[in-house]
Amino acid sequence: MKRMNACAVLPLLCAAMLAASAARADAPERCAAIADDRARLACYDALFGKPDVSGAVGAPPSAAPVTADAATATAAATAGATRTPEADFGLTEAAKRAREPEATRAEFPESISGTVAAVGRRPAGEIIVTLANGQVWVQVHVDARARIDVGDTVTIKKAALGSHLLVTANRYATRVRRVK
């Protein structure tokens, strides 16, 4: 049996990889075009995999990372829930619009304060902070100088370009994003 030259196999392998990549690139658009909610979700689950639900309410915060997709789904699921400015603080504008129409929405505060109910860590070391009001915030970048303990009172402020800063009890600020 003849051995194929590596120079002849490499272009074939690259072409196959590009074809597979192109087929996967248009898959999200196909899922987005599905009108039925359950069928659309099944399409996305088949494409990207189901989210790990072990990080849901009741599980320890360090059990699994909380994803932005899970937070968006949770925000949409709780659309009829609490409709206060503090409850919507930190959500993206799209998530706020999904929860409450623009006409009835109140002004949003520049900052909120709350008591830390739970503290966990993601596998990469980012801190996961659960406040007493149920909001979950994740540190954007690992910063060992930020020390947060259960029972601490923290303040979360709006920052530049839609970001947020969590100010710890010892007045250290670290960049965070809301995931629930």
CA neighbours closer than 13 Å in the CB half-sphere of residue 24:
9
pLDDT, position 52: 67
C-alpha 119/C-alpha 111 separation (Å) is: 20
User: Where does residue 144 rank: exposed (0-12), middle (13-18), buried (19+ CB within 10 A)?
Assistant: exposed
Those residues with Cβ within 8 angstroms of residue 135's Cβ, 6 or more apart along the chain or in another chain: 89, 90, 114, 178, 180
pLDDT, position 76: 47
Q: pLDDT tens per residue, the chain (180 residues)? A: 455 565 666 676 667 666 666 555 567 778 888 888 888 888 878 877 777 665 545 444 444 444 544 444 444 444 444 567 777 788 777 777 777 665 445 567 889 999 999 999 999 989 999 999 999 999 999 988 888 999 999 999 998 888 999 999 889 999 999 998
pTM, rounded to two decimals: 0.44
C-alpha 61/C-alpha 64 separation (Å) is: 7
pLDDT, position 59: 46
CA 13 to chain centroid: 35
pLDDT, position 64: 47
pLDDT, position 63: 45
CB 128 within 8 A of CB 121: yes
Query: Strands 127-131, 136-139: parallel, antiparallel or unpaired by DSSP?
Result: antiparallel
